[in-house]
Amino acid sequence: MAGLWDEWEHGSETRSCVTILTTEPNDLMESIHDRMPVVLSKDSESEWLSADPDTRKDLCQPYPENDLDAYEISTRVNNPTNDDPSVIEPLDHDQTGLGEFSSS
């Protein structure tokens, strides 16, 4: 994902700060949310790290939906103490109701 990183210093305290950039959703994500993270292709990662601001802006496009999957996961993901791979495993039933999240 595309993001920004910086360190904030105040006296003897240093804090690392991270921001995940978002963009408009692709067709797959549109029924779930009105924005999505800027996902970079493997080929764009080095370019993101060394590019000028205008090039980085051009990279902030919706990721192609044909390279993503959407599936329902457990609400365990909402609790940061649940830090294990099972929080993103698909639930054992067919997903329904994505259209209910449409912004139209």
Q: 72: domain CATH number?
A: 3.90.1680.10
pLDDT at 99: 60
Which pair of structure tokens corresponds to residue 27? 């067709």
Compute CA distances 82 → 71, 79, 85, 87, whole Å. 19, 6, 9, 7
Strands (E), 35-104: 36-37
Least confident window among 58-62, 86-90, 94-98: 94-98
Asked, for residue 11, whether it belongs to a domain, the answer is: yes
pLDDT at 92: 82
Asked, for residue 102, whether it belongs to a domain, the answer is: no
pLDDT at 101 over 90: no
Asked, for residue 67, whether it belongs to a domain, the answer is: yes
Residue with tokens 């044909």: 66
The closest of 78, 70, 76, 75 to 95, measured between CA atoms, is 70
The closest of 103, 4, 92, 89 to 48, measured between CA atoms, is 4
pLDDT in tens, 13-50: 999 999 999 999 999 999 899 999 999 999 999 999 99
pLDDT in tens, 57-77: 999 999 999 999 988 899 999
- How many domains are there within the chain? 1
pLDDT at 83: 94
pLDDT at 75: 92
Asked, for residue 77, whether it belongs to a domain, the answer is: yes
Asked, for residue 9, whether it belongs to a domain, the answer is: yes
Asked, for residue 99, whether it belongs to a domain, the answer is: no
Asked, for residue 88, whether it belongs to a domain, the answer is: yes
The closest of 31, 24, 26 to 64, measured between CA atoms, is 26
Asked, for residue 104, whether it belongs to a domain, the answer is: no
Q: 7: part of which helix (H) or strand (E)?
A: strand 3-10
pLDDT at 93 over 90: no
- The domain containing residue 65 runs over which residues? 3-94
